[in-house]
Chains A and B, each alone.
Chain A
Amino acid sequence: MAKKWIYWFDEIGSDFNDLVGKKCANLGEMTKLGMKVPPGFAISVDGYEQFMEESGAAKEIQSYFHENRAMMSLVGKQVEASREIRRIIESKSLPKEMAQELRHSYETLCHQVGIPDLAVAVRSSGAVSMPGQMETYLNVRGKSELERKVTQVWASAFTARAIAFRLEKNMDIAKAPIGVAVLKMVNAKCAGVVLTVQPTTGNLNKVVVEGNWGLGESVVSGEITPDQFIVDKASGSCETTISPKNKMVCYGQVGTRVAEVPKHLQCEACLAPDELSEIVRIATDVENYFNLPQDMEWVIDQDLPFPENIYWVQARPAKYSKVEQDESVYLADLMSRIFRM
């Protein structure tokens, strides 16, 4: 029997990083913490390798690299190589047994959620950070479409940037440990990020929440100015900045599209107060658990009631700049003065 290569999120955690990639391991870890993540499963690196072997793609790629090795350091050649390799992978269909297993897992997921032909997101999940290897397909419906997208995510391990990166780091060009996350698409009312530290000032007393209507892509990509909520951890007091939000990302028939935000919603806060405080509460809990400021992505499902409507799709340590606290010196000076009175 072949190796197990599909895992449900509750079977994995952060120690599965090498097997299922960071994103999946993270979704598993969040599940363990009791956070609500969209239901779904992970395809491990073993699945990728089994596919590459059984479909013959690995051999073809190897011989391609072998023939073109000398020219590989040229940028133009890397672009060409990327195109060629992706073509090779995408032209292969999933071996029969693997296809059956994937279909079975998808059916189980549809059954769990209670929606036939459930729309899912198919996301790459690299075991190591690799730029340009973040291929994601949203709103994927049906078994055959799912199979296609999974092979496309695998193929995305061979973007020109990824090839260049592997060359630079002296990594094996033909190998690309990549996992795939398959998870239910959340019918997003709004989505965004939460940071448990103010990234610009390094102020650890604040939580910053940003969000827009629709899917989170518009916030993460930085294309629009989202609503911003700066919440004080100790007091819960909140500074709200509502930005006019005219664009949002929605599902298209297939994949996603950019849509106009209805006029009456453009200047409305995308989060209700109780949703905001629940997001902040969970984010600070996670921060306390890891004892590190967190950078997390949330989605509000419009089909579910509060608080079940809050889904988490990402939690990782936040990057922020520590700034020298000038006000400390000023406060020390003020304090010394009270002894003069």
Chain B
Amino acid sequence: MSVNIAAPRSQRLDPKYVRGPKSRGNFEMLAWLFMRLSGVVLVVLIFGHLFANLMTGTGINALSFGFVAGKWANPVWQFWDLALLWLSMLHGTNGVRTIINDYAEKHATRAWLKGILYVATIFIVVLGSLVIFTFDPCVAGSDLAQCR
């Protein structure tokens, strides 16, 4: 009487109905979760960054090499800016990756655009991290008191 019908996705599908290559595991879910978690942290980090640099004292008029040196003399701001760099770059890169996946229809175009994106991201993150870790208040052109 009864007929056994295999449940969908029971691995007994005709191969021609199997979409795409192998599953990428949880990557897309983790990327989705990362956007939410990093987003909340970035709101705090960026609002703090904008407030400290543009809203206090004489705001943008105070920005200079000496201002940066003063901030990075404090490890809290070093860590703040490092976290800002990493989280914002990863958040932004994942956002642009999503946009490329949505709009670039040809496989080769998608691969190229994402390749360029990842190279740019690695370059910017490595460069920014090196600048924070190797900052020298007495670099060429510095007129800070302790360098004279």
Whether A associates with B in a native complex is no
